[in-house]
Amino acid sequence: MKTEAIWSALADHHLTVADRAILSLFDDPNRADAFSARLGYEDGHSGQLLFDFSKTNLDGTALDLLLRLADSAGLAARRAAMFSGEPINETEGRAVLHTMLRGTADPAVRGDWVQDQLATRSRMRVFADAVRSGDFAGPGGTFTDVVNIGIGGSDLGPVMACLALAPYHDGPRTHFISNVDGAHAADTLRGLNPRTTLVIIASKTFSTIETMTNAATVRDWMAASVAYPAAQMVAVSSAEERAAEWGIPADRVFGFGDYIGGRYSVWGPVGLSLMLAIGSDGFSQFLDGAAAMDGHFRHAPFAENLPVLLALTGVWHNQICGYATRAVLPYDQRLSRLPAYLQQLEMESNGKRVAMDGSDLTRNSGPVVWGEPGTNGQHAFYQMIHQGTRVIPCEFLIAAEGHEPTLAQHHRLLIANCLAQSEALMRGRSLDTARGMMAARGLVEAELDRQARHRVFPGNRPSVTLAYRKLTPQVLGMILALYEHRVFVEGIILGINSFDQWGVELGKELAVALEMLLVPGADDSAKDGSTRTLLAHLRRS
Ligand code: F6P
């Protein structure tokens, strides 16, 4: 079957099953087993993952067609091309080798790239050990705090991972400044001692305006208290010469090649703040988890392959069922920044309107990704998820075990709430049941009907759940690599380049010109009426 024929068959099949109750699929006693996949259960691997996608309207026919879609998109060949370092980021002529950072790239990858990254990893380890032991210290003694200045991929990964792995922190405290809003720098620096603070300037290009503005501000803040601020600064960048121009000596610049995309970069020097916080051994475990997922992604048959199956549920919900968004709902407070991290990973990667060859996409690109940790979200936007007019597929994440053994009751409640939500979404509550509830409260006739209708849950709303043993560095690595490969698979099926981001450029260019127009008396006559009115108002204030 040709690719277009598979898409049509999927659309036709969806029409025939759209009104079916998901719950009815569980008449098959094997449903939960057949529509779930596991990693690490058999070998007792500590990073056990269970991906359950049985609470969706996917059936054997749909899954078979989706698997054929992956085949016909050339997924196996594209996957091999990525791992072997071919320039699959065609619009930038670059290889895509974040897997090399976890040691899982193919032997075909250029030897000098592998050597460079191994040498950098070993320098990072030596540096992190020296900072943590106090051998490399500030004028005030051992560094107590680390401030990472970066934005986008040079911020979201380390912020998210540092929060996620808080129980493993035994190094300096970590802080992050990303927004060009001076409030971010001011609030972060307040209370920090410049004499015991290490600064990481993380920017792949070392030219991003937000990062360079914040770096200059932090340098000024330090200069008021220490003689040589640059001595307490390190750079994480592909542009080593620019970092040197900025006064950071080569031995404190940790570089990486252009084959590491910003949003895929937490595994290398961009993860230095994480390595400082949890130590180089903990960081290695984080990489090991990702490497385990890489191995699984490369070798497991598609029908058992977690990233492939996660991607196929995404394609089914977005491109076939037409659900425009997906909610990522970690029942894990320490994954509170995972939705923000995934917004960049997924939307910067797959939010495109043309295919790799420049032709218009004939179907929607990736979905809007959003979310908040449970249980907080339940008291905010779950109302809409359960009873709104639009269907929002939900992706739940939950650990079997927390890190607070003395608070086991909290964790039981967390698990119960997570499972309750996916069950409620699927089961819903019928009008009859709602009427019965109202009758039991003594309501009658019109009032009973009116009140009952508000208490109906349509149900039949799909969700998937990723259950893991405990949020260790290794498990976090597995989860992030799972999502990276999911994005890759979705991108291949949609025929787009998941590794460029031209859509961020226009706004950056206009911002440079607009900054000039904020000067009083500047000639803004070439601008539209709205922009001129806003400029006038904002100049005044
Ligand atoms: O604006 C988008 C972007 O290019 C991201 O892709 C990237 O992660 C971020 O900016 C930061 O870029 P840099 O690391 O070069 O400062």
Which one of 3.40.50.300, 3.40.50.1100, 3.40.50.10490, 3.20.20.150 gives the CATH number of domain 98-278? Answer: 3.40.50.10490
pLDDT of 47 reads 53
Is residue 42 among the annotated active site residues?
no
219 lines ligand 1 (CB under 6 A): no
Write down the catalytic residue from 2, 299, 379, 537: 379
Instruction: Answer for the pair 174, 148: CB distance below 8 angstroms, yes or no.
Output: yes
Is pLDDT at 43 greater than 80 in this prediction? no
Query: 178 φ, ψ to 5°?
Result: -125, -45
pLDDT of 274 reads 98
151 lines ligand 1 (CB under 6 A): yes
Helix axes 473-494, 75-83, angle to 10 degrees: 130
Mean pLDDT, residues 302-306 taken together: 97
174: which strand partners? 146
The SS3 of residue 255 is: coil
Report which residue type is found at 184.
H
**98-278 and 3-72+300-427+461-500 share a CATH fold:** yes
How far from 499 is each of 103, 293, 346, 397, CA to CA, in Å?
Answer: 20, 20, 10, 26
Report the distance separating Cα 306 and Cα 319, nearest Å: 19
DSSP string over 110-157: -HHHHHHHHHHHHHHHHHHHHHHHTSS-BTTBS--EEEEE--GGGTHH
Per-residue pLDDT reduced to its tens digit, 214-228: 999 999 999 999 999
Per-residue pLDDT reduced to its tens digit, 250-288: 999 999 999 999 999 999 999 999 999 999 999 999 999
Instruction: Answer for the pair 395, 332: CB distance below 8 angstroms, yes or no.
Output: no
Is pLDDT at 51 greater than 70 in this prediction? yes
501 lines ligand 1 (CB under 6 A): yes
For residue 32, the CA-to-ligand 1 centroid distance in Å is 41
Percent of the chain with pLDDT over 70: 99
pLDDT of 286 reads 97
Is residue 395 among the annotated active site residues?
no
Percent of the chain with pLDDT over 90: 95
Report the distance separating Cα 422 and Cα 36, nearest Å: 15
For residue 365, the CA-to-ligand 1 centroid distance in Å is 21
pLDDT of 360 reads 97
Distance in angstroms between the alpha carbons of the first and the last residue of the chain: 63
Report the distance separating Cα 502 and Cα 54, nearest Å: 37
Fold that domain 3-72+300-427+461-500 belongs to in CATH: Rossmann fold (3.40.50)
Instruction: Answer for the pair 398, 334: CB distance below 8 angstroms, yes or no.
Output: no
Query: 517 φ, ψ to 5°?
Result: -80, -5
Per-residue pLDDT reduced to its tens digit, 357-377: 999 999 999 999 999 999 999
Mean pLDDT, residues 123-143 taken together: 98
The residue whose CA has the least distance to atom 8 of ligand 1 is 153
Is residue 509 among the annotated active site residues?
no
Q: From 212, 217, 209, select the one nearest 188 (Cα to Cα).
A: 217
Boundaries of every domain in the chain: 3-72+300-427+461-500, 98-278, 505-540
pLDDT of 48 reads 80
pLDDT of 541 reads 57
The C-alpha R_g of the chain, in whole angstroms, comes to: 25
Q: In the predicted model, what is the mean pLDDT of the chain?
A: 96
> Is residue 237 packed enough to be buried (19+ CB in 10 Å), middle (13-18) or exposed (0-12)?
buried
Provide the pLDDT confidence category of residue 40 given band limits of 50, 70 and 90. confident
Mean pLDDT, residues 373-392 taken together: 97
Is pLDDT at 41 greater than 70 in this prediction? no
How far from 88 is each of 302, 486, 496, CA to CA, in Å?
Answer: 21, 16, 11
For residue 205, the CA-to-ligand 1 centroid distance in Å is 8
pLDDT of 540 reads 72
Token representation of residue 103: 């040691």
The residue whose CA has the least distance to atom 3 of ligand 1 is 152
For residue 151, the CA-to-ligand 1 centroid distance in Å is 6
Token representation of residue 141: 């003694």
Is pLDDT at 80 greater than 80 in this prediction? yes
Instruction: Answer for the pair 104, 291: CB distance below 8 angstroms, yes or no.
Output: yes
Mean pLDDT, residues 7-20 taken together: 98
Is pLDDT at 46 greater than 70 in this prediction? no
Write down the catalytic residue from 4, 241, 410, 508: 508
Per-residue pLDDT reduced to its tens digit, 403-461: 999 999 999 999 999 999 999 999 999 999 999 999 999 999 999 999 999 999 999 99
Mean pLDDT, residues 344-360 taken together: 97
Q: What is the pTM of this model?
A: 0.96
Mean pLDDT, residues 85-113 taken together: 94
269 lines ligand 1 (CB under 6 A): no
